[in-house]
């Protein structure tokens, strides 16, 4: 059976502002290593899936960036969302396009901007996930074994029903749960059967189509209308007109929280969602004072800071637990504990009509 | 009797780095208002003293800046120190040059980089100081009434011997004291007869010359050698060769701590030495969160910070009690309590041979 991939690359990466910008969001930046995050995602997948079978869902703005960064990707494999919706419409649109080309494929759905250290481990797990997805009507997801009580992620609770396939544990899922508070996150961590929701899903295209029909019938109808227009001249107009009617729902909420037959494979392949600037603490080496430093920096009495220069000298004295990011036209200075709230600055820029800084 | 002025303008203003730079130190910057600090100092004095009688002691590097910023100052009134020494050699050199032009003047010696809010009050006090200096062999200094227990200034202790001249108190000085620790500064503040040493001195040229002869005889001899060369071709070589033999001593240590007949006039004319970035807290209005903000700034959850942009957007989130100064090639981020230690960064830049940033 054919394996296809759907990379979701429409995000704005706002919590990585000011380096991540409207015209060049996080997935197109080199956050770690010499390649952009989406280039790394593609390379990783190509160990299992031919580039012809890899699809990227994004919005109009980023199509050119994708063509430039991944020149060997067939242009038709760039799926343009008419407007930014949530993950359910994204998966829905991709599923009908893929179904038309590969009527019997197993889809791997994954974000474009995550770091995975152990690529061999990832591929091994993906192969097993595909194997599980090809049985019955299973939905499979990769769960990250939590290493600290993170409150910024959704979690997946597994049952005691565990199979061993290819030396990997495959757990039947009990339920998907929303981002917990700190105490709950601590309990999840201690319990051993809660996993971080990686946003990576594996299923047969036909199976997800059936689940959409079952749990999101209105979206299903919109997708059917689009599909009927595929060979017609007004295809793009129909996709546009129907897509904007789609619900702003995640695939987690729309399907995963309601479906049966969900399996999670616990993973320890060095995963990070690079969700905000504090991720740099996790994915980089720190100096003897706990700082993560990049570029032209002079620091004295500086502890546990993340500092990135764009060429200009950044000189720090006495500061602790700060994020300092200098770009060509913006310098961000933010406490680490506010890293998740960088969007507040963007909101204020919009209010003040300073869109040039977004 | 003629009144002359000696403005000491050879300082580097290192604690105002990175805005104050080797090629453009603090006294030539607009820290408050529309004029540079030295331009403000000159304007202030011109209410009492003709520009022809105002002399500026500086080093070679800044002569051109002074000519540009104060075009109506006679070029001969710029006195070049061959090397940067302390205030005693500076005053000594100025005294022999002024003596040659104005044999019987009363000199006002003052820094180039202080802020004085009440200019009328300042001139009134200066006139009284000149009056006191012209009697006997008095040395006069202006003392600032302390408003908080500052540990960064020297203090002047007055005696109970107080005259009233022109509605002003004129106290006989007991002694000059070095920078105190915090507890001592608190005691000084409570006592009522300790004043901040403003570095502003008033004396007859002949009187300071005599005191130099008495307390700094070696420096006196060097000055005499220079004076003998004034009408000779090798004048500049002699000044250079003798000046470098001068002691690295302040006029406070060399003369004021040893002399008799010293009077202090307590002042309340809104004085600030603008000694470091935290001075901006004192001399500027603050916003409702206690911030002093200048330029293109977006701040959220930001408290008691001093932030200055050079055009680039500085966006802050969650920070408190920080100094952020952005210039064309350097951004400084420093806690307020380390403001006095900015020189440590400059020292490190020298060690790393990064002189371009000094």
Other CB atoms closer than 10 Å to residue B241's CB: what's the count? 15
Same domain, B251 and B328: no
Distance CA B22, CA B10 (A): 11
Same domain, A265 and A283: no
Is residue B252 helix, strand or coil?
A: helix
pLDDT at A142 over 90: yes
Same domain, A211 and A343: no
The minimal CB distance from A319 to the residues B300, B335, B342 is found for B335
Domain boundary pick from A238, A253, A272: A272
Element (H, E) at B204: strand B194-204
Same domain, B129 and B184: yes
Same domain, A36 and A113: yes
Which pairing describes strands B322-326 and B330-335: parallel, antiparallel, or unpaired? Answer: antiparallel
Q: Are A313 and B357 a contacting pair at CB < 8 A?
A: yes
Packing angle of the helix pair A205-215, A217-228 (nearest 10 deg): 130
Element (H, E) at A279: helix A279-283
CATH of the domain at A173: 3.90.550.10
Confidence at A1, pLDDT banded by 50, 70, 90: confident
Q: Which residues of B touch A330 (CB under 8 A)?
A: 312-315
Same domain, A267 and A314: no
CA distance A301 to chain B (A): 10
Number of domains forming the structure of chain B: 2
DSSP code at position B145: P
Which residues pair with residue A171 across a beta bridge? A162, A264
**Per-residue tens of pLDDT for chain B, all 358 residues:** 799 999 999 988 999 999 999 999 999 999 888 899 999 999 999 999 999 999 999 999 999 999 999 999 999 999 999 998 899 999 999 999 999 999 999 999 999 999 999 999 999 999 999 999 999 889 999 999 999 999 989 999 999 999 999 999 999 999 999 899 999 999 999 999 999 999 999 999 999 999 999 999 999 999 999 999 998 999 999 999 999 999 999 999 999 999 999 999 999 889 999 989 999 998 899 999 999 999 999 999 999 999 999 999 999 999 999 999 999 999 999 999 999 999 999 999 999 999 999 9
Which pairing describes strands A330-335 and B262-267: parallel, antiparallel, or unpaired? Answer: unpaired
The predicted-structure confidence for A191-243, as pLDDT tens digits, reads as follows 999 999 999 999 999 999 999 999 999 999 999 999 999 989 999 999 999 99
| Cis bond before residue A84 (omega within 30° of 0) | no
**B329: domain range?**
279-357
pLDDT of residue A33: 81
pLDDT of residue B152: 87
pLDDT at A324 over 90: yes
Domain boundary pick from A242, A272, A302: A272
Element (H, E) at B221: helix B217-228
B18 touches chain A (CB under 8 A): yes
Distance CA A143, CA A157 (A): 9
pLDDT of residue A152: 87
Sign, CA dihedral B43-B5-B203-B258, equals positive
pLDDT of residue A184: 96
Answer whether B271's CB lies under 8 Å from B110's CB: no
Same domain, B162 and B235: yes
pLDDT at A31 over 90: no
Same domain, B153 and B302: no
Same domain, B258 and B286: no
Same domain, A108 and A207: yes
Give me the mean pLDDT over the A33-50 stretch: 95
Which residues pair with residue A294 across a beta bridge? A308
pLDDT of residue B84: 87
pLDDT of residue B1: 79
Which 161-190 residues of chain B touch chain A by CB within 8 A? none
The pTM (predicted TM-score) of the whole model is 0.88
CA distance B308 to chain A (A): 12
Confidence at A110, pLDDT banded by 50, 70, 90: very high
């Amino acid at each position: 059976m054919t394996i296809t991939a759907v990379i979701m690359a429409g995000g704005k990466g706002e919590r990585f502002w000011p380096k991540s910008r409207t015209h060049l969001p996080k997935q197109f930046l080199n956050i770690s290593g010499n390649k952009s995050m989406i280039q790394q995602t593609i390379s990783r997948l190509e160990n299992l899936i031919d580039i012809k079978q890899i699809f990227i869902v994004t919005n109009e703005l980023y199509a050119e960036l994708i063509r430039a960064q991944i020149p060997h990707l067939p242009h038709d494999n760039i799926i343009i969302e008419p407007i930014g919706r949530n993950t359910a419409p994204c998966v829905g649109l991709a599923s009908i396009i893929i179904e038309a080309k590969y009527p019997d494929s197993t889809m791997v759905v994954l974000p474009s901007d995550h770091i995975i250290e152990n690529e061999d481990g990832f591929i091994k797990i993906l192969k097993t996930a595909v194997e599980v997805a090809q049985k019955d009507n299973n939905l499979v997801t990769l769960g990250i074994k939590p290493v600290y009580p993170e409150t910024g992620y959704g979690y997946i609770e597994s049952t005691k029903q565990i199979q061993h396939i290819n030396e990997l544990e495959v757990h039947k899922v009990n339920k998907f749960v929303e981002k917990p508070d700190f105490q709950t996150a601590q309990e999840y961590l201690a319990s051993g059967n809660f996993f971080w929701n990686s946003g990576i899903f594996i299923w047969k295209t036909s199976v997800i189509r059936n689940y959409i029909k079952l749990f999101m019938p209105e979206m299903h109808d919109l997708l059917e209308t689009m599909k009927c227009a595929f060979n017609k001249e007004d295809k793009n107009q129909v996709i546009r007109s129907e897509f904007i009617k789609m619900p702003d729902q995640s695939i987690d909420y729309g399907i995963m929280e309601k479906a049966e037959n969900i399996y999670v494979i616990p993973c320890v392949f060095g995963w990070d969602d690079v969700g905000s600037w504090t991720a740099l603490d996790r994915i980089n080496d720190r100096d003897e004072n706990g700082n993560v430093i990049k570029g032209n920096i002079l620091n004295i009495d500086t502890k546990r800071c993340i500092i990135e220069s764009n060429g200009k000298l950044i000189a720090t004295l006495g500061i602790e637990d700060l994020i300092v990011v200098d770009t060509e036209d913006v310098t961000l200075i933010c406490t680490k504990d506010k890293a998740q709230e960088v969007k507040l600055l963007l909101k204020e820029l919009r209010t003040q009509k300073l869109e040039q800084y977004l």
